[in-house]
Amino acid sequence: MAITSKSLSERPASRRTLAFAVHIFTASGAVCGLMALMAAVEGHWAIMFAWLGAALFVDGIDGSMARRARVVEVLPRWSGETLDLVVDYLTYCLVPAFAVASSGMMPFWMAVPASVAILVTSALYFADTSMKTEDLYFQGFPAVWNLVVFYFFLVPLNPWVIFGIVILLSVGTFLPIKFVHPFRVVRLRLLTIALLAVWAVLAVLAVIDGMKPDLWVTVSLCLCAAYFSVFGLIPSRRAGGTPV
C-alpha cells in the first residue's frame, strides 16, 4: 500500500517522535565527529580518538534502535541509511584523513596523497550498492579508517610502511575480499562479539594512556585486529547471515 500524508498523520505522534529521536541520535555522531576534528586541529590525538570512539558507539547501536522503533515504516521521509552514511563518512574517513595529513606521521608530500586516497576511495565505497554480500559480510575494505589510523598512532611505523598500508587498503576497497560485520555475520558470532567487547575495553585503556599503553594492551589490540582482518578470508562450509 502506498504511503500517503494521510496515513502518516494517522500514526500515533509518540511513535513518530520516538522514530525521529532515533534519527537525532544517529545524527549526534556528526557532533562527535566535529569534536574529534577540533581535537585533531589542536593535536590532541587521544581526545580525538575518544570522540571517534563515542561516534563508533552511536553507530554500533543506532541500527538496532531504528529497527525496534520501526523508523523506516513510521518516518519514511527521512532515510536512516543515508543519514548513517553521511555521519560515517565524517567519522570513519574525513577526521582520520585529516589526522594522517596533519599529525606528522609522514612527510607532507606523502601524507597529502595518502589522505586524498582515503577520502576518494571511501566516498566511492559508500556509494557502492554492492558493499555487502548476501551473507552480510562487507565486500572490499569497508573504509574503517578510524580504526586503521588508531593503529598508526598505537604502533609506531616507518612512514613508507604507513603509506603502503594506506595504498593497499585503498585498492582493497574495490577487491572482492570479505570483511566481517561483527553484528550481522552468523558464523562465530558470539566469539566475534566477545572479541569486539575485549577490543573496546583495550582501546579505552589505550586512549586513557594517551595512545601509549602497556605492551600487553598493544599486543592484545593487534591480535584482535588480526582476527577481524583475517576472518573473512577463511572459507566457511556454511555461508549465511541474518540481520540482528
- Domain ranges in the chain? 12-233
4, three cell numbers: 500517503
Interval 179-201 mean pLDDT = 82
Higher pLDDT, 170 or 237: 170
User: Could you read off the pLDDT of 59-70 as tens digits, one per residue?
Assistant: 888 888 888 888
pLDDT band at 111 (very low <50, low <70, confident <90, very high): very high
| Whether the predicted model's global pTM rises above the 0.95 cut | no
Q: What is the 3-state secondary structure (H, E, C) of 125-162?
A: HHCCCCCECCCCCEECCCCCHHHHHHHHHHCCCCHHHH
CA distance 99 to 19: 34
Pick from 197, 188, 198: nearest CA to 219: 198
Task: Tell me what pLDDT residue 105 has.
Answer: 95
Question: Is the model's pLDDT at 115 over the cut of 50?
Answer: yes
In this prediction, what percent of the chain has a pLDDT beyond 70? Answer: 89
Other CB atoms within 10 Å distance of the CB of residue 113: 15
Higher pLDDT, 223 or 75: 223
Question: Is the model's pLDDT at 19 over the cut of 50?
Answer: yes
Highest mean pLDDT among 39-43, 76-80, 123-127: 39-43
Question: Is the model's pLDDT at 58 over the cut of 90?
Answer: yes
Interval 128-137 mean pLDDT = 78
